[in-house]
Amino acid sequence: MTQDILNKWKLYILTNDNGMKVSFLNFGGIITDISVPNRHNQLENVVLGYKNYLDYEKNSNFFGAIIGRVAGRIQDSSFTIEDQTYTLVANEGDHHLHGGDGGFHQVVWQTTPFHTDDKVGVKLTHMSLDGEGGYPGTIEVSVTYTLTNNNELILDYSGTSDKTTALTMTNHSYFNLNGNLAATIHNHHVTIESNEFVELDTDLIPTGKKIHVVNTPFDFRTERKLVDGINSLSAQNRVANHGYDHYFILKQTNQPNICVKEETSGRVMTIKTTQPGVVMYTSNTLEDDLELAEGKSKPYLGVCFETQASPASLHHEGLPPVILRANGLYEKQTVFSFSIEG
């Protein structure tokens, strides 16, 4: 189903046989609503979105959007490939964040809907010209949203470039499994299959140093609550404004890489990805009093799982690379699966 929004965008609504619903705009590929049942079979929204669609025109928090060309922060808004240095638009102090002001979250994507007996979806495509935002290469990218009858939301990313460039895309949805923003994410239980995370400096720029999670609030190898890091006196939790905004290097596994549980609702979300890592961001700096669909915003109202490679690899060795070679193929997948426990 589609709806016209503000006479310039389209809102797509995907629904499966279980009643699960995913809504998104062709503007920025922005996911505005994911409605899934709780243990009482009540459908509620589990992502943050604006009450007024006009607020997505700025969307400084990147709610629900496709992020690119490069997800994350690029130090000093520059990088060097094949002895050529490229200067990007600085949109966070001296640094370049989430593709810059004209990134993928700010473009209207071309759309092609599809459906079969057991799934429904839309393929979004976009061409970014050589030099846009300072990046080399004309690239053609696509992101396909697929909703299955197993309550899976599958995100398939692909891209090609006529020049060697930097590319790592992600989705920036803020999840809150309480449903309809009934509470903060302090008591969300999270498991992440990761032995190491990357240290941040005071500008939230990765230093390149990998830290083992053992005996830290970053050890999610067994289930722990997010409040552990929010209340932690650890230097790395404090530098991230009392929470998490860090890149975790994922173990390569055929099992889900991430699991999130919320006891009151009974909702469980698992994430399986072919990406090498994930930034977990606990909305530590989310402003107060934005008009969201279900109420006012505040810090710790959602948690992002930005599956991606590491932009810090442009400046440091030993991190998952973001380089896409000329005429090479970028292909990644992330699957969000929803279920009930208890």
- State the residue for tokens 């590319």: 167
Instruction: Map residue 76 onto helix, strand or coil.
Output: helix
Please tell me the distance from the alpha carbon of residue 310 to that of residue 33, in angstroms, as a whole number.
28
pLDDT confidence of residue 83? 94
Mean pLDDT across the chain: 97
Instruction: Map residue 32 onto helix, strand or coil.
Output: strand
Q: What is the pTM of this model?
A: 0.97
- State the residue for tokens 């999610």: 220
The yes-or-no answer on residue 186 being catalytic is no
Domain interval for residue 168 = 2-340
- Residue 308: strand pairing partners: 277
Q: Are 48 and 292 in contact (CB under 8 A)?
A: yes
Marked catalytic residue, from 172, 242, 246, 315: 172
Q: Is 60 exposed, middle or buried (0-12, 13-18, 19+ CB in 10 A)?
A: exposed
The one-character DSSP state at 29 is T
pLDDT digits (tens, 9 = 90+) for 83-100: 999 999 999 999 999 999
pLDDT digits (tens, 9 = 90+) for 58-83: 999 999 999 999 999 999 999 999 99
The domain that holds 323 is classified in CATH as 2.70.98.10
Residue 342, pLDDT > 80, answer: no
131 contacts: CB under 8 Å, gap ≥ 6: none
pLDDT digits (tens, 9 = 90+) for 259-303: 999 999 999 999 999 999 999 999 999 999 899 999 999 999 999
User: Up-side HSE of residue 14: CA atoms within 13 Å toward CB?
Assistant: 28
Instruction: Map residue 64 onto helix, strand or coil.
Output: coil
Please tell me the distance from the alpha carbon of residue 16 to that of residue 119, in angstroms, as a whole number.
7
Question: For the chain, what is the domain count?
Answer: 1
Residue 317, pLDDT > 80, answer: yes
Query: Shortest CA distance to 176 belongs to which of 267, 306, 46?
Result: 46
Q: Is 255 exposed, middle or buried (0-12, 13-18, 19+ CB in 10 A)?
A: exposed
pLDDT confidence of residue 254? 83
The yes-or-no answer on residue 44 being catalytic is no
Angle CA 72–77–82, to nearest 5? 95
Residue 27, pLDDT > 80, answer: yes
Regarding beta strands 110-115 and 295-296, do their DSSP bridges make them parallel or antiparallel, or are they unpaired? Answer: unpaired
